[in-house]
Amino acid sequence: MMVACLPCSLDLNRARGGVVVRGEQAASTEGHRMARLDRSLIAGVPAFANLGAEALDDILSRAQIMRLLKGEAVFRQGEPAERFFLLLHGRLRVTRINAEGAQILVRFIAPNDMFGVAMAIGAATYPGTATAAVESLALSWPNAAWAELIAAYPSLAVKAMQSLGARLQDTQDRVLDLATQNVEQRIAGAVLKLARQAGRKTGEGVLIDFPLSRQDLAEMTGATLHTVSRTLSAWQTKGLVDCGRQKVVVRDEQGLSAIAAGGR
């Protein structure tokens, strides 16, 4: 618990000199950075792997850093896409809403993920809304930097393509799940996936390390929050999970996997 929080706090502090806080200064304008960004900020980003120190500095020199308060939106669905982003710390929820007002949770963005690359895929507006699930820290670049960066560092284009491909595979798997599995299987799958990508071992099991409500799980699985609540309650009785307000701890990964696979 405390161990995990430390790097976050440290990094937030370390970068604070260059932070543009929304409200003081709008993130969509070109804010003046008050300090040079440290290249260690992005040294561990998969998209920037294999790039040298000068490359990282070059990339960072075009970036703006922004701190996001919990609940704050980075961009909203339908807004003109003028910048693209990289999450440094925290967690973002991406939602999409249709004409009738029904909403799904598209994905959670983890640190070191690029997001909002609408322009790179030929979209003029953001196709979803990104909101900070916890206080977060992100870098952003103007769209114009995209073409310049991939021209200067072609490996970036390859990496971007691969991560886009992985997301396409993921999304197609989700279609397959929605079309062929029942609600309980889908909820189990979603919880397991979250535990793997954001889990932290505790004495009691694997805690999903950010606030996750029943409504979130419902929007991830195409269920209602009522059904999610009933399902989690039943699992708790069986000792599969331990859950509370916006909290889920997986106690029996095996058992959940069996449910996800259809062993009911």
Partner DNA sequence: CGAAGTCTTGAATCGAATCAACGGAAGTGG
Partner DNA sequence: CCACTTCCGTTGATTCGATTCAAGACTTCG
Q: Which residues bind a copy of itself (CB under 8 A)?
A: 96, 98-100, 102-104, 106, 120-123, 127-128, 150-151, 154, 157, 160-162, 164-169, 171-172, 174-181, 219, 221-222, 261-262
Taking CA atoms, 214 is separated from 71, 200, 226, 241, in Å, by 17, 19, 8, 14
Using CB under 7 A as the binding rule, whether residue 232 contacts DNA is answered as yes
Return the bridge partners of 137, or none: 67, 89
Using CB under 7 A as the binding rule, whether residue 222 contacts DNA is answered as yes
Alpha-carbon span 140 to 62, nearest angstrom: 9
Residue 168 tokens read as: 């396409």
Using CB under 7 A as the binding rule, whether residue 229 contacts DNA is answered as yes
Give the burial class of 33: count Cβ atoms within 10 A of its Cβ; 0-12 exposed, 13-18 middle, 19 or more buried.
middle
Least separation in angstroms between residue 227's CB and DNA is 3
Contact letters (x/-) for DNA, 134-173, by CB under 7 A? ----------------------------------------
Using CB under 7 A as the binding rule, whether residue 260 contacts DNA is answered as no
Least separation in angstroms between residue 191's CB and DNA is 13
Smallest CA-to-CA distance from 15 within 80, 82, 68 is with: 68
Helix (H) or strand (E) holding 3: helix 2-14
The dihedrals phi and psi of 60, each to the nearest 5 degrees, come to -65, -30
**Partner from a copy of itself, DNA, none contacting 40, C-beta within 5 to 8 A by type:** none
Asked if 75 contacts 116 with a C-beta cutoff of 8 angstroms, the reply is yes
Q: Which is nearer to a copy of itself, 29 or 98 (CB)?
A: 98
Least separation in angstroms between residue 121's CB and DNA is 31
Q: Which is nearer to a copy of itself, 10 or 144 (CB)?
A: 144
Q: Which is nearer to a copy of itself, 207 or 217 (CB)?
A: 217
Q: Which is nearer to a copy of itself, 5 or 166 (CB)?
A: 166
Q: Which is nearer to DNA, 25 or 246 (CB)?
A: 246
Using CB under 7 A as the binding rule, whether residue 97 contacts DNA is answered as no
Q: What's the start-to-end Cα distance of the chain, in Å?
A: 34
b/e burial code for range 96-118 (CB count within 10 A of at least 16 → b): beeeeeebbbbbbbebebbbbbb
Which residues in this chain contact DNA in the complex, by CB under 7 A?
Answer: 182-184, 213-215, 222-227, 229-230, 232-233, 243, 245-246
